[in-house]
Amino acid sequence: MGAYDAEIESLAAAGRAALVREIDAEGTWAADPVWRKAFAEVPRHLFVPYYYVAGRRGYERRWGESADPEDRERWVRGVYADVPLATRLRDGELLSSSSQPSLMARMLVALCVTDGDRVLEVGAGTGYNAALLTHRLGDGDLVTTVDLDPEIAESARGHLAAAGYRPVVVTGDGARGVPERAPFDRVIATCELATVPRAWLAQCRPGARILTPLATGLAALTLRDPERAEGHFLPTPAYFVPLRGEGRVKPEEVSLAGLPGRAREQELFRFLLALTRGTLTAQEAYVLWEREGEPSRERYGVTVTPERTWAWLDDPVGPYAWPLPGQSQSPVLP
């Protein structure tokens, strides 16, 4: 090992240890401490050889092969900071990122992985999350990660190989799943979707758990039978790059004019707006939000059936339910 490699490895080891201590302090993996070992051992810097930092003059590129030792140190310290990292841009648009590690930890714990589970990851990104899953399961054949962009998929495959992990990396539309690798016991998406693709249900075993970003939250669903999945949102907010392909999110501007400042500033109110986009006006959402005592994320849920997919408050058959995008039924208004 050369002096450069020794320097990077030393900084990376210190960075991983500090990151693990930071996530430790949140109590994130108390329910499943095996993930602590994965975060302590999987070298994130091998998955993020460069990333972009927003500055006054646009994005600044930081990379590990810089000739300047100070630049290399900034790069590796940034890699192990508990922040999301922009890893791929095109014409100023963010195409891919490495998620905030503490959020990844919360999601992996919430996925409730057990030994021998077959896992589908939608959104390969840098490959880091797939490496953590492979480390946890100890067998690359149990992990399948899919990405629509061939360049992103190939880059993730290279990062994984460099780090010594061999999950199956597929190029394809994640909204369609990967039927040739089914059945799955767990599905985790690392990109925002507008709805829960029904194709995932058909590729899962009964009792499978599906964890996916919707609106600005994380829906954790259980496959009740081959045609029905249901569950609540986790308490944590979550912001991800939108999925491209069939399940892509189409942002819609919602006017907040006329609403009290308290509502405009509340993240939980914005979550309700995002969840009911296209079905409730901002004023209708505010009336519901205020009437129901500013409900937390855990009170909301999602149900998927062959006929329809809908979000709801408190009860799937209660008075408040809204179709997710692609549905034709009328919403129940407050």
The catalytic site residues sit at: 96
Distances (CA, A) of 333 to 82, 150, 238, 287, 320: 40, 42, 26, 10, 7
Token reading at 158: 């290279």
Question: What are the tokens at 123?
Answer: 């959104």
Tokens 């960075």 -> residue: 15
Burial level of 258, CB count in 10 A (0-12/13-18/19+)? Answer: exposed
Rounded Cα distance between 188 and 315, Å, is 24
Of residues 317, 314, 281, the one with CA closest to residue 299: 314
Question: Distance between CA 119 and CA 177 in Å, rounded?
Answer: 11
Cα distances (angstroms) measured from residue 93 to each of 58, 90, 279: 12, 5, 28
**Quick check: bond before 323 cis, omega within 30?**
no
65: tokens are 């092969």
**Residue 251 CB burial class (10 angstroms; 0-12, 13-18, ≥19):** exposed
Say whether 7 sits in a helix, a strand or coil. helix
